[in-house]
Chains A and B, each alone.
Chain A
Amino acid sequence: MKSSEKLVEIKNLRKKFEATTVLEDISIDIHQGEVVVLLGPSGCGKSTLLRCINGLENIQGGVIILEGEKLNEQTKRIHLVRQKIGMVFQSYDLFPHMTVLENIILGPCKAQKRAKKEVVKEAEELLLRVGLFDKKDVYPRQLSGGQKQRVAIVRALCMHPKLMLFDEVTAALDPEMVREVLDVMLKLAKDGTTMIIVTHEMQFAKAIADRIIFLDHGKIVEESEPNVFFSSPRTERAKQFLNLFEFDAI
């Protein structure tokens, strides 16, 4: 699905929390329609990288360029840039005081000022696609974790984002609900959505990724195609990491 057109360019990105450097000299290009999966041990900076791309963190060095527009927390029109990026968080974070439908149409109606009628129609279509049409008028707390996460994905999609960011979206879910969320993401990938995914689901990463980026201690350690990465990782660090997911028979 990948085209040669660059959607996001990250150049020499550096991020510090006070004295600790969290990301060091990160450079990644993401092409239109590409699915990039970020892997790495906890605390390696994967989530922070996603948050930087969405301008939720200020950065100490380097640039992030989305469709030729430079992006940083200080940009006055950051909210306009963010409308082009959909982000789904680990803890779903639906707005508890709004129904499912209201959650979804808030951004398109208020931030993008689109006509409510058209947005509702689209929201309903999207809900239908993720199998939650009958839940459109319920409040988030009446939903299961997997359902909430699917709504959160729809909420992000309804903004027509150019890029979707998924931050460990299945990490807080019960195992039997992981699949329903991953299926939605696989469908999106098939439709050519550009995505950056942080996950700990290795099988899923292998299935969905066009490219795996392996981070450790805030640096890119390895960058390769999924079948190469999972069958013959080039670096010792990646080998060790992948071994964590293998179990030897006793």
Chain B
Amino acid sequence: MQDLGIEVLFQGKNLFRLLEGLWVTVRISIISVLISIVLGIVLGMIMTMRNPFIKIITRCYLEFVRIMPQLVLLFLIYFGLTKMFQINLSGELSAVIVFVLWGTAEMGDLVRGALTSIPKHQYESGKAIGLTVVQNYLYIIIPQTIRRLLPQAINLVTRMIKTTSLIALIGVVEVVKVGQQIIEASRLTTPSAAIWIYGVIFFLYFIVCYPISILSTRLEKHWRN
């Protein structure tokens, strides 16, 4: 009989389990991305301050988080905290903490870049028509910052979603981990399952990330006109 690996997908609750795994991925991504965006905006604004002390602190944080591979950060939080301080975090919570730490740093730097790329005269024109500082940010600086920020921010979001595949290594059963389990369970009966299951996983990631990039292209086009 012909060996059709795709059948594995429809055996038992396999497809449902994959989707459950995908939900874990998406849930962790959404939570981390949302928190990162909010904190990143705040951090970005803080980073534009001229205070040298603040500059050094934020710079150190940014470089530290960036240089560290995300996997090392995950191990540090998940295993390190337990060893050092007997803090037992669940895999999911550790993952969210790490992705927020990383996402905030990256987002903060993007926001800082976007804010400083707005010409000084835009701030002054706003002041010159009598806007308060808050109004100036609200109507003039932030809308322009968002427009400049969007392409890179979207890029960061999709990178974060993809990087969540690492959390399988701290025992969180997300979509890739579920896929591995299915493949292992059917190793003897259906040896070609791997290509099919990973193919489906590829497709699932695509379904999640593609609409985001479509949205950003749409918005960019909309704002250009």
Residues of A within 8 A of B (CB): 54-56, 79-80, 82-83, 85-87, 89, 91, 93-97, 106-107, 110-112, 155-156, 159
Shortest CB-to-CB span from A191 to chain B, Å, is 20
B122, A93: Cβ atoms closer than 8 Å: yes
Shortest CB-to-CB span from A78 to chain B, Å, is 8
Choose among B121, B128, B135, B223 the residue that contacts A110 (Cβ–Cβ < 8 A).
B135
CA–CA, A14 to B7, complex, Å? 84
A-B contacts, CB under 8 A, total: 66
Choose among A55, A89, A97 the residue that contacts B147 (Cβ–Cβ < 8 A).
A97
A89, B122: Cβ atoms closer than 8 Å: no
Which one of B78-86, B136-144, B157-165, B211-219 is at the A interface? B136-144
Q: Residues of B contacting A82 with CB < 8 Å?
A: 127-130
A95, B140: Cβ atoms closer than 8 Å: yes
Shortest CB-to-CB span from A137 to chain B, Å, is 12
Choose among A96, A106, A111, A159 the residue that contacts B132 (Cβ–Cβ < 8 A).
A111
Choose among B129, B131, B144, B147 the residue that contacts A156 (Cβ–Cβ < 8 A).
B129
Q: A106-B139, A110-B139, A111-B135 are in contact. Are A95 and B128 (CB under 8 A)?
A: no
Q: Residues of A contacting B131 with CB < 8 Å?
A: 79, 106-107, 110-111
Q: Which of B85-130 contact A (CB under 8 A)?
A: 119, 121-122, 124-130
Q: Residues of B contacting A156 with CB < 8 Å?
A: 128-129
Shortest CB-to-CB span from A86 to chain B, Å, is 7
Can you name 9 extra interface pairs (CB under 8 A) apart from A79-B130, A159-B130?
A56-B128, A82-B127, A82-B129, A82-B130, A83-B129, A89-B121, A95-B125, A156-B129, A159-B129
Choose among B127, B139, B140 the residue that contacts A79 (Cβ–Cβ < 8 A).
B127
Q: A89-B121, A97-B147, A97-B223 are in contact. Are A56 and B130 (CB under 8 A)?
A: no
Shortest CB-to-CB span from B97 to chain A, Å, is 36
CA–CA, A111 to B121, complex, Å? 18
A107, B144: Cβ atoms closer than 8 Å: no
The list of the 4 closest CB pairs from A to B, nearest first, reads A107-B129, A83-B130, A111-B130, A93-B125
Residues of B within 8 A of A (CB): 119, 121-122, 124-133, 135, 139-140, 143-144, 147, 223
CA–CA, A66 to B132, complex, Å? 19
Q: Residues of A contacting B132 with CB < 8 Å?
A: 79, 111
Chain B, residue nearest A106 (CB): B139
Q: A97-B147, A106-B139, A111-B135 are in contact. Are A89 and B124 (CB under 8 A)?
A: yes
Q: A110-B135, A111-B135 are in contact. Are A95 and B122 (CB under 8 A)?
A: yes
CA–CA, A111 to B187, complex, Å? 69
CA–CA, A44 to B131, complex, Å? 29
Q: Residues of B contacting A94 with CB < 8 Å?
A: 125
Choose among A55, A80, A155 the residue that contacts B129 (Cβ–Cβ < 8 A).
A155
A56, B124: Cβ atoms closer than 8 Å: yes
CA–CA, A135 to B146, complex, Å? 26
Chain A, residue nearest B131 (CB): A111
Chain B, residue nearest A139 (CB): B225
Shortest CB-to-CB span from A5 to chain B, Å, is 23
A89, B125: Cβ atoms closer than 8 Å: yes
User: Would you mind naming 7 contact pairs between A and B with Cβ atoms under 8 Å apart?
Assistant: A54-B128, A56-B124, A83-B130, A93-B125, A106-B140, A111-B130, A111-B131
Choose among B127, B133, B144 the residue that contacts A56 (Cβ–Cβ < 8 A).
B127
B144, A97: Cβ atoms closer than 8 Å: yes
Q: Residues of B contacting A54 with CB < 8 Å?
A: 127-128
CA–CA, A83 to B132, complex, Å? 10
B144, A111: Cβ atoms closer than 8 Å: no
